């Protein structure tokens, strides 16, 4: 009885809170809420700032929590700079001269002038800082809105490829795409043209992302797990895909515009890793990309957690191996020797695991030397 009563009253409260948080979060209205909050936070109406901000949010139908939060720009850490900046700007606007503080020469007239300058300067500074903050929020939200709209569409497109797969494999693919942030980073990348190769492709998920823009793109991949290769072949039916059960060390690499190595290198010895990277670099067309990820050895406790998690996976596979992640400098040196231009992106996965995504592009000069 008590739990039913609690649920009866808590459910409307949760719905009200959710509606309050989502209210007016379109990029333009969210930017306006930030402007109002920052502006009111600068105006010296202490004790009334929160009331004024919420009142304006209600009047203009802005997001109330966001407007209120933006007023906290006025805090003990920033306030000395805000007051000094307001006085400086106010004196420039009122007198054309900079503010000079001289305690021995302070008079009632000087205090009145400073008070007027403070009031005028705080309004002007609040408008300037509020405008800058609102523009930043506007650009950020518009960028993330495009990305958040695009990513689910791409995920759904790849998930549909596995609609006819057995439920266990279909579920694995769905959760893999949802949890592994590599599939947030791959779609925005320029994955180029030409043949796309995935070494250790598993279910072929990454190849599905690579072929989204061009379903006729040539795809190639290999993996030691025959069951996953069979599922991948079925999912990529109708596409120009050749998938084989093969060890990456013996896979015959075709000429490619893109080579992916997402979870393979740690299975190989150090010299085998270097040899594979050299082979991949040589197989790329000019301007082609080699994209791979390794564990981030420089992330302290996260690296230890990542390494322990990887060892558990290796034990579950019963392959008798231990994962080996080389220092980042070793990978960088091997790629630079092959004439590759390197971009490194550190990211933390959702488990959380610490990774580095390495995107290496082959320069035309490297092809000429080869």
What's residue 120's pLDDT? 87
Residues 179 and 40 in one domain: no
Residues 134 and 200 in one domain: no
Q: From residue 151, give the alpha-carbon distance in Å to each of 155, 156, 158, 208, 354.
A: 6, 9, 11, 14, 22
Instruction: Quote the domain boundaries for residue 130.
Output: 2-145
Cβ count near 343 (within 10 Å) = 12
Residue 319 domain flag: yes
Q: Edge-to-edge strands of the sheet including 354-362?
A: 241-245, 219-223, 196-199, 256-261, 284-295, 354-362, 340-348
Residue 44 domain flag: yes
Residues 219 and 358 in one domain: yes
What's residue 366's pLDDT? 59
108: which 2 tokens?
Answer: 């009632």
Last residue of a domain, one of 110, 145, 180: 145
Residues 263 and 331 in one domain: yes
Residues 207 and 267 in one domain: yes
Residue 314 domain flag: yes
- Which CATH number fits the domain that encloses residue 228? 3.40.50.150
Tell me the HSE value of 313 on the side-chain side, using a 13 A CA sphere. 12
Residue 157 domain flag: no
**Helix runs in the chain, H state only:** 2-22, 27-42, 49-60, 64-70, 79-95, 108-161, 167-179, 182-185, 205-210, 226-235, 270-283, 301-317, 328-337, 364-369
Residues 139 and 114 in one domain: yes
**Helix runs in 194-269, H state only:** 205-210, 226-235
Residue 321 domain flag: yes
Q: Which residues of the chain have pLDDT under 70?
A: 1-25, 99-113, 142-150, 187, 314-321, 351-352, 365-370
What's residue 273's pLDDT? 95
What's residue 303's pLDDT? 75
Residue 155 domain flag: no
In three-state secondary structure terms, 307 is helix
Last residue of a domain, one of 97, 118, 145: 145
In three-state secondary structure terms, 258 is strand
Last residue of a domain, one of 115, 145, 175: 145
Cβ count near 21 (within 10 Å) = 12
What's residue 7's pLDDT? 47
Residues 215 and 117 in one domain: no
Residues 171 and 98 in one domain: no
Per-residue model confidence as pLDDT tens digits over 30-53:
888 889 989 998 888 888 888 888
Residue 152 domain flag: no
Number of domains in the chain: 2
Cβ count near 348 (within 10 Å) = 14
Residues 130 and 169 in one domain: no
Residues 77 and 226 in one domain: no
Residues 178 and 111 in one domain: no
What's residue 150's pLDDT? 67
Q: What sign does the CA torsion over 8, 11, 12, 13 have?
A: positive
Residues 78 and 168 in one domain: no
What's residue 139's pLDDT? 81
**Residue 43's closest CA among 112, 99, 125?**
125
Residue 82 domain flag: yes
Q: Measure CA of the first residue to CA of the last residue in the chain; give whole Å.
A: 78
């Amino acid at each position: 009885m008590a739990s039913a009563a609690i649920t009866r009253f808590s459910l409307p409260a949760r719905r009200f809170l959710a509606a309050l948080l989502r209210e007016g979060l379109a990029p333009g209205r969210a930017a306006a809420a930030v402007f109002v909050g920052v502006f009111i936070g600068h105006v010296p109406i202490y004790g009334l700032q929160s009331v004024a901000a919420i009142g304006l949010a209600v009047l203009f139908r802005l997001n109330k929590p966001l407007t209120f939060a933006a007023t906290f720009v006025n805090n003990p850490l920033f306030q000395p700079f805000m007051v000094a900046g307001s006085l400086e700007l106010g004196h420039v606007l009122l007198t054309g001269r900079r503010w000079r503080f001289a305690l021995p020469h302070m008079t009632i007239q000087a205090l009145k002038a400073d008070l007027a300058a403070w009031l005028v300067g705080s309004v002007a500074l609040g408008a300037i800082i509020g405008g800058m903050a609102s523009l930043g929020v506007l650009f950020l939200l518009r960028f993330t809105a495009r990305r958040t709209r695009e990513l689910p569409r791409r995920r759904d497109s790849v998930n549909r490829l596995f609609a006819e797969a057995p439920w266990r494999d279909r579920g694995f693919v769905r959760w893999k795409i949802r949890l592994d942030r590599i599939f947030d980073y791959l779609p925005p990348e320029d994955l180029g043209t030409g043949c796309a190769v995935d070494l250790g492709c598993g279910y072929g998920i990454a190849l599905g992302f690579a072929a989204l823009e061009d379903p006729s793109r040539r795809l190639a991949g290999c993996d030691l797990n025959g069951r996953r290769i069979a599922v991948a072949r079925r999912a990529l039916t109708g596409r120009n895909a050749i998938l084989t059960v093969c060890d990456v060390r013996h896979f015959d690499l075709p000429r490619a515009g893109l080579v992916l190595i997402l979870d393979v290198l740690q299975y190989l010895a150090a010299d085998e890793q270097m040899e594979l990277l050299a082979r991949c670099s040589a197989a790329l067309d000019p301007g082609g990309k080699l994209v791979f990820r390794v564990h981030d050895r420089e992330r302290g406790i996260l690296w230890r957690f990542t390494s322990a998690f990887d060892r558990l996976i290796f034990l579950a596979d019963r392959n008798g191996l231990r994962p080996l992640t080389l220092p980042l400098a070793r990978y960088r040196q091997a790629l630079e020797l092959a004439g590759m231009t390197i971009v490194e992106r550190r990211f933390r996965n959702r488990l959380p695991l610490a990774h580095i995504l390495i995107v290496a592009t082959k320069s035309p000069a490297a092809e000429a030397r080869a």
